[in-house]
Amino acid sequence: MNTDLMVNGQAQRLDADPRTTLLDALRNYLHLMGTKKGCDHGQCGACTVLVNGRRINSCLTLACMHDGDEIVTIEGIGGPDDLSALQQAFIAHDGFQCGYCTPGQICSATAMLDEIAAGWASHATKNVASLPGLTVEEISERMSGNLCRCSAYPNIIDAILEVAAGKEQS
Amino acid sequence: MTPFAYSRAATPSEATGLGRDGASFIAGGTNLLDLMKLEIITPDRLVDISRLDLAAISETPEGGLRIGAMVRNSDLAADRKVCDSYPVLAEALLAGASAQLRNKATTGGNLLQRTRCYYFYDTAMPCNKRAPGSGCQAIGGATRLHAIFGASVHCIATHPSDMAVALRALDAEVEVEAPEGAIRRLPLSQFYVLPGDTPHIETVLAPGDLITAVILPPPQGGRQTYRKVRDRASYAFALVSVAGVVALKEGRIAHASLAFGGVAPQPWRNETVESMLHDRQPSAGLFAQAADALLADARPQKDNAFKISLLRRTLIAVLNELTDADQ
Ligand SMILES: Cc1cc2nc3c(=O)[nH]c(=O)nc-3n(C[C@H](O)[C@H](O)[C@H](O)COP(=O)(O)OP(=O)(O)OC[C@H]3O[C@@H](n4cnc5c(N)ncnc54)[C@H](O)[C@@H]3O)c2cc1C
Ligand code: SF4
Ligand code: FES
Ligand code: FES
């Protein structure tokens, strides 16, 4: 069946079996290999992309359910010549080893900073009716949907905190 | 995944019409697709209900809250009225799954998510819930995650939702639209059914029935909390959890509602325990008695007797937190 997607600002028409997940559509049909398949069951976060500005697991949704939606993958966040602040911070802080989880981490963190800016509480926020702070506990909790097999967590958190602090000042 | 026909419903009546005879609704898809990939569920037709106009949160004429079935778990947890007046619900949602999953998971889908019993997930194993009449591989097997209340000799699985536990403590109701358009409202206490000898039947819903909303009564006041104990600090299902709403008046407990997760085939509640607390002064002795009364009915399996002492301690901690005069 046909599905129209806006991927990284470009209109794409997909003709695929309705069983095709958004993840498989991105990788196998649109050849955007940045988005990774880890578990294919919502358990690791490697497949995280932004749909209409929100982070989701692309492995647990069907491409055909996203007709008309705007998708941003790691390729749309920034490339070698125009790295985003988070991408630069991941390099500066050595926020990866093998790099397999990194596209998902960066897509996830990009949306996560918007969620904090919108005042969304997390499980680490003491009182859900108060504004969340920018602490290591908050960032780890909010990023718990992204596993890193190489356990680069401390550097990932440093990278995110640096960008978050920069955003707060500006 | 086995092949299916896909259709997107534009209205609830279109959805209920398409939703019968081997069809499945798909909302966020985060539980259904997981199970379809493993061919644990093999619908002939998927009816996409994700774009139905059921994503609003609004006040009811009585002063409660109407939560559309398509409201995302993340939006519900971030809602001002929920955070201010029903914080136990926001806390339960935020203790569940991950931020990515909560952005997709819906109110209706969360209520209907299936058990995480390992044998239900393994199609090579007998499982009365997945394949009625085939037996239960969990009984006598690895039962760390399984129920201590409400189980039967045919199934000992637990319901995994955190949200539903908070909704149970809040006396929520579920609004359902049937094919042909009849709309009914039923308390969450009457929504789930115990496994008995038909563990594949988990709720009172009939084929084609669509959850359209969850309705909360006006806020009860008092303090609220959701405490979840799990194997790691985040992104794991509950071993046990307690949702508590307690109001104090002149040093006595004027109202207590308590619901328990991770321990039964449905969010568990025990009214005897609540009435024991009613109009009493908080004390360590009273809380120990309440825990004794709750756990008197517990029937552990081989590997999950730890849930008895864990639930006991968690309940007492919640009661202490909610009645602590210094907080
Ligand atoms: C890795 C992982 C970790 C998780 N951790 C937790 C956790 O800690 N705590 C927790 O509570 N949950 C957890 N979950 C489960 C998650 O909360 C559920 O998958 C989610 O809430 C399901 O909602 P959905 O909208 O995606 O449902 P779907 O997958 O779309 O649907 C689920 C079922 O509900 C039916 N359905 C959906 N909407 C309706 C409706 N309106 N009317 C009638 N039927 C309907 C569907 O037909 C289907 O049978 C986890 C999931 C994953 C993958
Ligand atoms: S406990 Fe229930 S879900 Fe698990 S194997 Fe037994 S019948 Fe199946
Ligand atoms: S590949 Fe999607 S969460 Fe692991
Ligand atoms: S860098 Fe290897 S998995 Fe995270």
Report domain extents, chain B: 5-50, 223-323
User: Does B41 lie at the interface with A, CB-CB under 8 angstroms?
Assistant: no
User: Does B103 lie at the interface with A, CB-CB under 8 angstroms?
Assistant: yes
Q: Which ligand is nearest to the CA of B77?
A: 1
β-pairing, A2-7 with A70-72? parallel
Beta bridge partners of B223: B246
- Among B4, B30, B74, whose Cβ lies nearest the Cβ of A60? B30
Residue pairs between chains A and B whose CB atoms are closer than 8 Å: 105
Residue in chain A closest to B9 (alpha carbons) equals A65
- Among B34, B78, B104, whose Cβ lies nearest the Cβ of A41? B34
pLDDT tens-place string over residues B46-60: 999 999 999 999 999
CA distance B162 to B166: 7
Residue in chain A closest to B94 (alpha carbons) equals A123
β-pairing, B23-26 with B45-48? parallel
> Contact B90/A127, CB-based, under 8 Å?
no
- How would residue A166 be classed by pLDDT, with cut points 50, 70 and 90? confident
Enumerate long-range contacts of B38-44, CB under 8 Å, 24 or more apart: B38/B121, B38/B123, B39/B1, B39/B2, B39/B123, B40/B120, B40/B121, B40/B123, B40/B130, B42/B2, B43/B4, B44/B4, B44/B5
Cα of A75 vs centre of ligand 4, distance in Å, is 18
Site to probe by mutation for ligand 2, drawn from B41, B121, B129 as the one with most ligand atoms within 8 Å of Cβ, is B129
* Alpha carbon nearest to ligand 3 atom 3, residue: A42
pLDDT tens-place string over residues B156-167: 999 999 999 999
Is the pLDDT at A133 greater than 80? The verdict is: yes
Residues on chain A touching B46 (C-beta within 8 angstroms): 18, 62
User: Residue type at B108?
Assistant: G
Pick from B104, B320, B298, B296: nearest CA to B227:
B320
A35: closest CA of chain B, how far (Å)? 15
Cα of B193 vs centre of ligand 2, distance in Å, is 15
pLDDT of residue B221: 84
pLDDT of residue B240: 98
pLDDT of residue A170: 62
A32: closest CA of chain B, how far (Å)? 20
- How would residue B23 be classed by pLDDT, with cut points 50, 70 and 90? very high
pLDDT of residue B326: 66
Pick the CATH number of A2-77 from 3.40.640.10, 3.40.50.620, 3.40.50.720, 3.10.20.30: 3.10.20.30
Best of A15, A43, A62 to disrupt the B interface (most B CBs within 10 Å) is: A62
Residues with a CB atom less than 6 Å from ligand 2: B 115, 117, 119-120, 127-129, 136-138, 155-157, 199
Pick the CATH number of A85-169 from 3.30.1280.10, 3.40.190.10, 1.10.150.120, 3.30.1330.10: 1.10.150.120
> Contact A18/B84, CB-based, under 8 Å?
no
- How would residue B20 be classed by pLDDT, with cut points 50, 70 and 90? confident
Q: If you average pLDDT over every residue of chain B, what do you get? A: 97
Pick from A74, A2, A64: nearest CA to A36:
A74
User: Does B74 lie at the interface with A, CB-CB under 8 angstroms?
Assistant: yes
Is the pLDDT at A89 greater than 90? The verdict is: yes
pLDDT of residue A106: 98
Residue in chain A closest to B105 (alpha carbons) equals A56
pLDDT tens-place string over residues B206-232: 999 999 999 999 998 899 999 999 999
pLDDT of residue B21: 84
Residues on chain A touching B78 (C-beta within 8 angstroms): 118-121
Look at residue A49 and give its three-state secondary structure. strand
Q: Is the ipTM of this complex over 0.95?
A: yes
- How would residue A169 be classed by pLDDT, with cut points 50, 70 and 90? low
Cα of B298 vs centre of ligand 3, distance in Å, is 37
> Contact A112/B34, CB-based, under 8 Å?
no
CA distance B207 to B184: 15
CA distance B146 to A27: 38
> Contact A61/B3, CB-based, under 8 Å?
no
- The predicted model gives A145-164 an average pLDDT of 97
- The predicted model gives A131-142 an average pLDDT of 95
Query: In the CATH hierarchy, which fold is given to the domain comprising B223-323?
Result: Enolase-like; domain 1 (3.30.390)
Residues on chain B touching A141 (C-beta within 8 angstroms): 233-234
- How would residue B307 be classed by pLDDT, with cut points 50, 70 and 90? very high
Alpha-carbon distances of B150 from B131, B190, B196, B266, B269, rounded to whole Å? 20, 14, 9, 8, 11
Looking at chain B, the whole-number percentage of residues with pLDDT higher than 90 is: 98
Is the pLDDT at B274 greater than 70? The verdict is: yes
Is the pLDDT at A104 greater than 80? The verdict is: yes
> Contact A121/B94, CB-based, under 8 Å?
yes
> Contact B98/A45, CB-based, under 8 Å?
yes
Q: If you average pLDDT over every residue of chain A, what do you get? A: 97
Residues on chain A touching B104 (C-beta within 8 angstroms): 56-57, 60-61
Residue in chain B closest to A39 (alpha carbons) equals B34
Residues on chain A touching B29 (C-beta within 8 angstroms): 60-62, 65
Domain B5-50 falls under CATH 3.30.43: yes
In B50-100, DSSP assigns E strands to 57-59, 65-68
pLDDT tens-place string over residues A51-83: 999 999 999 999 999 999 999 999 999 999 999
> Contact A120/B78, CB-based, under 8 Å?
yes
- Among A21, A121, A145, whose Cβ lies nearest the Cβ of B98? A145
**If you count them, how many residues does chain B have?**
327
